[in-house]
A and B are shown apart, each in its own frame.
Chain A
């Protein structure tokens, strides 16, 4: 190895990292040698990932120093210079991939980010896909890849730019042994062609770590020890790394760790607990489980191995009756499993992968709830809960919330919950993923007890080989089929292998060779393929690159196309809302129902009523019979207006005596009733004028002056004409802003934002790239809404369409940018949605001249109104629709909006962090 005489590839000194009160890294000082394969070992939550993200420059350095590739990672200039030389693959299967994009689209995205042109991209993608054996899957969406393939794709994406430093965070967690082995072979072959490349890897698998060049053992934010595997083993005097790691732990954390010893099983009792006969499960044309058969005796510990998505969980579901098999029979204790038979579930305890406890219930409440759901007698529940708490050592934490507990204790709680009803069969789906070795050993001692003392049949799936060896028998699953089912010794013997892992790899290889012609050239081929990639010259980092910008635009449009709900919102959301508002919110009151109580029944009284009935505002209903009738019909909402004409009306009018007509109207809805009041007073006045004119001639009514009212721009005073130019800006503001906020918040929530942190893309490229597709969509919406307004709602458009479209374009630029400004402060999608709605709509409704002109506002509101782009677009919209604004008149509001765009974008860029906090 070349590492010894080279300066370290990375070094950290007194590094401290805190998340709130939790200290993730506690004064870590470390030099990582270059040109080597360095492993970070330790259980979950000890600070491995934090350290790696700091090395990759993805996270802000709080305290202490980090030097990578010869420079200070606090210096943004150095970070941007070295980021094309570093590749970072974060933890989690496919965390930095885009699940809806295909293998090839993912790779192209990364290629573009690193500035490769089409020819170079194609060449590199071809090389990488060939080397990893992924070529047959290039069109498959990343979400549909198996765990191993996702990690290979992640690696391809990381390697596309020939990095000098490769940082891998638990790349093989949740991946089957063969894929794991292939993954490391791939890394080896790449290192063979690029000997200077340094690799830093975190892993939870000690078997894997044993083959690395140099190890860093970490616990509780501190480095326990460093050195080669041999050095660590020698120092602790342990036989393997697992035990060496436990020996390195401080005494307090080591607890009373003992070797796990599973007593031999008394196999005389031949009762079969679980039996699967030709189980098959198909989802559509996809066969998840194919013809699986096995028998498990009572009290046996039966292990299940296989990669994520190979059908383990589906098989388990069929055994518990959760899922009805497409073909085949599952039997528990000789009885066929019936999905509808809840009694079966009482005999089975199930502990799923995700520690699926109610995080909002305390430990005790979780236990009690499950006891009740399994219909334990109410009187016996407290005793049973106490018994379980005692047995699983949960007494001290009974009133704590699970989230506050360490993983190891949560796992014991999950097991206690699964056992609360005393099941005869226990099904455990990867119960120990991510748990530290001490807790894992303790867990297995409990399992041994359950099996040997209580005779519980245990069916467990795992990725750990040492756990597999503790099982009485093991099954290996691959692509829905059981490859082998036997004892660990027999499996090893059948392939003549030293270790269980080697035997499994042999079986998996055999299965793959059988089903398909070898899809990938073996590592030898990779050796030949990789050098082709090597000579590519490093690309100079450009300040602004259109290609990087457009690569984000492409990414965004592809993702949007494949998300039906967001696409619906983006494409037709505003149109839908516009139709709803246009049809639903109508201030014009027409066809109001009224009825008359005519106690006079003369020509004069009928003449009075005819005036009302004849108007388009009112519709007459059958006459009223009296006050009770009026009350009842009004209460039922049948009429909104009742008119009473008193007896002797005609006679009194004729004699000039004062008469009073009574009118009652429904005042519940004040908007409506105000209008009704106006109409009825107006008609009453008209009737009187007409009568007086008939009697006295027109001279009698001349007033002091005449008020000539001109309803300008909307002479018929139709609400739709006023509404559309106001609604259009609202919708073009709210929906595009929501979509852009979501697009950033989504990346933050799902983790793919890491690609922005560690690739050369600049903040402006990132934002503009994301903005373009949403601007295009907003303009499509604009056109649709215009068509709707003009041709369906028949709102007259009097101004310049070209000018107005130009205004709209500037406005959607501003509104999409506003979304970014909100997004930089928010990291959850739901919060983004509500915050954007409120933050864009409140100023738009109150301060943008929608109800009152900005000129009549004062103070803060006025200032906001004058700079807010919505103000100017409302002016432009009203002008273009109703006030015959030509191109020239539209220039001024458009320029006012345009002025805000660089400000909003500039603020967004300056607040957007290119590192995680």
Chain B
């Protein structure tokens, strides 16, 4: 193998990328704007939830409760009759329906502990849980305040001091931002190499390369190092400038260690990109194939929801995917400040998977060049 060829061909790839405005825009977007938006959009927080209230009491207390629901958490409540609850919920107009029974205020003051009914449309899962908690808090604080004239302060003999580690204020933006960098690394290393190969194939330049004194291994390595370098620079920029600098998200562990993991990940993903490009042949086919491969990889690797809540067999299968190990590694390093002594199994796994994928891709690439 001639390393000079690998270098020269790689430089050619970089020059080609430099003239591809669409790809450049995609790279810039994935490492800046996309990171920013995924940090600032957190679908789990409650905003403008739809609530209706049946006020059969029409008392001072019930109107206090009604007026306690305000934006941005809730839309101003609709006042409806008890008969409307079912039809409105069936039609999906309300997520919450609170039913304040007749004589509620009287019964509360009399210490009879009357029941107040909260209907939650549990098909809107993400709102149901958080929203239910909010409603119950709002109602009880209004009732206690009304009853005692001041905010209730109940002391419990045993207190629970809950502390969140690694993200003390539980800011969802931290997770969103870092996770988005991880996802961008995965996606771009796959797309860039795959499309670089397909571009050569569509322009007929692959044939041309073959009559020159270069080997398939050199061609493949040149694509891997050049596109890997672009992704590496992009992710370093994104992590240090966008995430740490602009968004002030703390990174707990060592960035170089994370980047070392990212390099191994890129070898694996770029090889997969080459493999898929040789299978697909044309850009549209590649894009379709990518949708069917990338989406499952990203969802099942533990980047979106924790691995532990997935079925056992999925967890086992996904051990073969580089994404899983990369996500474990990144989350350990970036969130929990883990060092090499903790993440070496993931590094090892990534290296092995990367080597296997490289070998498979090279074999497929050789066959494709025939």
A827 interface contact, C-beta 8 A: no
CA distance A357 to B175 in the complex (A): 45
Interchain CB contact under 8 A, A658 and B157: yes
Other-chain residue from A704, A709, A713, A742 in contact with B123 (beta carbon distance below 8 A): A713
Interchain CB contact under 8 A, A322 and B210: yes
What is the 8 Å Cβ interface bit string for chain B, positions 121-149, against chain A (1 contact, 0 not)? 11111111110110010011001100100
Q: Specify the chain A residue showing the minimal Cβ separation from B295.
A: A577
What is the 8 Å Cβ interface bit string for chain A, positions 341-384, against chain B (1 contact, 0 not)? 01101101010111011111100010001101111000000000
Interchain CB contact under 8 A, B164 and A717: no
B115 interface contact, C-beta 8 A: yes
CA distance A637 to B44 in the complex (A): 23
Q: How many residues of A contact B (CB 8 A)?
A: 127
B367 interface contact, C-beta 8 A: no
Interchain CB contact under 8 A, A373 and B214: yes
Interchain CB contact under 8 A, B332 and A636: yes
B64 interface contact, C-beta 8 A: no
Given contacts A369-B12, A635-B337, contact A583 B314 (CB under 8 A): yes
A82 interface contact, C-beta 8 A: no
Interchain CB contact under 8 A, A659 and B157: yes
B15 interface contact, C-beta 8 A: yes
CB distance from A345 to the nearest CB of B (A): 5
CA distance A369 to B15 in the complex (A): 11
Interchain CB contact under 8 A, A580 and B295: yes
Interchain CB contact under 8 A, B118 and A356: no
Given contacts A568-B292, A584-B310, A742-B284, contact A671 B305 (CB under 8 A): yes
Interchain CB contact under 8 A, B44 and A889: no
B68 interface contact, C-beta 8 A: no
CA distance A318 to B133 in the complex (A): 75
CB distance from B131 to the nearest CB of A (A): 10
Interchain CB contact under 8 A, B15 and A851: no
> What chain B residues lie within 8 Å of A588 (beta carbons)?
309
CA distance A885 to B92 in the complex (A): 12
Interchain CB contact under 8 A, A634 and B336: yes
B8 interface contact, C-beta 8 A: yes
Other-chain residue from B126, B170, B311, B338 in contact with A667 (beta carbon distance below 8 A): B170
Interchain CB contact under 8 A, A712 and B121: yes
Other-chain residue from B132, B284, B289, B337 in contact with A746 (beta carbon distance below 8 A): B284
A residues 610-668 near B (Cβ < 8 Å) are 634-637, 653, 656-668
Other-chain residue from B90, B213, B335 in contact with A374 (beta carbon distance below 8 A): B213
A705 interface contact, C-beta 8 A: yes
Interchain CB contact under 8 A, B118 and A707: yes
A residues 559-609 near B (Cβ < 8 Å) are 563, 565-566, 568-569, 573, 576-577, 580-581, 583-593
Q: Specify the chain A residue showing the minimal Cβ separation from B51.
A: A856
The listed residue with most A CB atoms (<10 A of its CB), out of B91, B168, B280, is B91
B211 interface contact, C-beta 8 A: yes
Given contacts A360-B20, A704-B113, A715-B122, contact A565 B308 (CB under 8 A): no
B108 interface contact, C-beta 8 A: yes
CA distance A342 to B157 in the complex (A): 83
Q: Specify the chain A residue showing the minimal Cβ separation from B214.
A: A373
A758 interface contact, C-beta 8 A: no
The listed residue with most B CB atoms (<10 A of its CB), out of A320, A375, A566, A705, is A705
CB distance from B297 to the nearest CB of A (A): 9
Interchain CB contact under 8 A, A706 and B332: no
CA distance A365 to B175 in the complex (A): 44
Interchain CB contact under 8 A, B95 and A852: yes
Given contacts A565-B289, A678-B133, contact A356 B309 (CB under 8 A): no
A710 interface contact, C-beta 8 A: yes
A136 interface contact, C-beta 8 A: no
A681 interface contact, C-beta 8 A: yes
CA distance A666 to B214 in the complex (A): 51
Interchain CB contact under 8 A, B113 and A829: no
CA distance A589 to B308 in the complex (A): 8
B5 interface contact, C-beta 8 A: yes
A residues 462-478 near B (Cβ < 8 Å) are none
Which stretch (B182-190, B199-207, B235-243) binds chain A?
B199-207
Interchain CB contact under 8 A, B296 and A565: no
B285 interface contact, C-beta 8 A: yes
CA distance A343 to B75 in the complex (A): 76
CB distance from A742 to the nearest CB of B (A): 7
The listed residue with most B CB atoms (<10 A of its CB), out of A660, A688, A830, is A830
A725 interface contact, C-beta 8 A: yes
CB distance from B49 to the nearest CB of A (A): 7
A163 interface contact, C-beta 8 A: no
> What chain B residues lie within 8 Å of A702 (beta carbons)?
111, 113
Interchain CB contact under 8 A, A565 and B285: yes
> What chain B residues lie within 8 Å of A660 (beta carbons)?
158-161
CB distance from A546 to the nearest CB of B (A): 30
> What chain A residues lie within 8 Å of B116 (beta carbons)?
705-708
Q: Specify the chain A residue showing the minimal Cβ separation from B159.
A: A660
B43 interface contact, C-beta 8 A: yes
Interchain CB contact under 8 A, B90 and A883: yes
Other-chain residue from A359, A726, A852 in contact with B203 (beta carbon distance below 8 A): A359
Other-chain residue from B5, B157, B305 in contact with A586 (beta carbon distance below 8 A): B305
Given contacts A565-B280, A712-B119, contact A587 B305 (CB under 8 A): yes
B355 interface contact, C-beta 8 A: no
> What chain B residues lie within 8 Å of A672 (beta carbons)?
305-306
Interchain CB contact under 8 A, A829 and B162: no
> What chain B residues lie within 8 Å of A883 (beta carbons)?
89-90, 123
Given contacts A665-B165, A709-B118, contact A829 B124 (CB under 8 A): no
CA distance A742 to B20 in the complex (A): 23
Interchain CB contact under 8 A, A370 and B170: no
Interchain CB contact under 8 A, A853 and B92: yes
> What chain A residues lie within 8 Å of B143 (beta carbons)?
704-705
Interchain CB contact under 8 A, B288 and A704: no
Other-chain residue from B90, B114, B163, B211 in contact with A322 (beta carbon distance below 8 A): B211
Q: Give 22 CB contacts A-B under 8 Å.
A: A356-B207, A360-B16, A372-B5, A569-B288, A577-B292, A580-B299, A635-B332, A635-B338, A660-B158, A663-B161, A672-B305, A672-B306, A677-B170, A705-B140, A707-B139, A713-B121, A714-B122, A722-B122, A726-B123, A849-B92, A853-B93, A874-B92
Which 9 residue pairs across A and B have the least CB separation, nearest first? A667-B164, A829-B284, A714-B122, A722-B125, A354-B204, A667-B167, A668-B335, A350-B211, A342-B213
| A residues neighboring B (CB under 8 Å) | 320, 322-323, 342-343, 345-346, 348, 350, 352-354, 356-361, 365, 369-370, 372-375, 401, 563, 565-566, 568-569, 573, 576-577, 580-581, 583-593, 634-637, 653, 656-675, 677-678, 680-681, 684, 687-688, 691, 702-715, 717, 719, 721-723, 725-726, 742, 745-746, 749, 829-830, 832-834, 837, 849, 851-853, 855-857, 874-875, 878-879, 881-883, 885, 889
| Given A365-B12, A883-B90, 14 more pairs with CB closer than 8 A | A352-B204, A360-B20, A361-B16, A369-B8, A373-B8, A636-B332, A661-B159, A702-B111, A712-B89, A715-B122, A837-B291, A856-B50, A879-B92, A885-B90
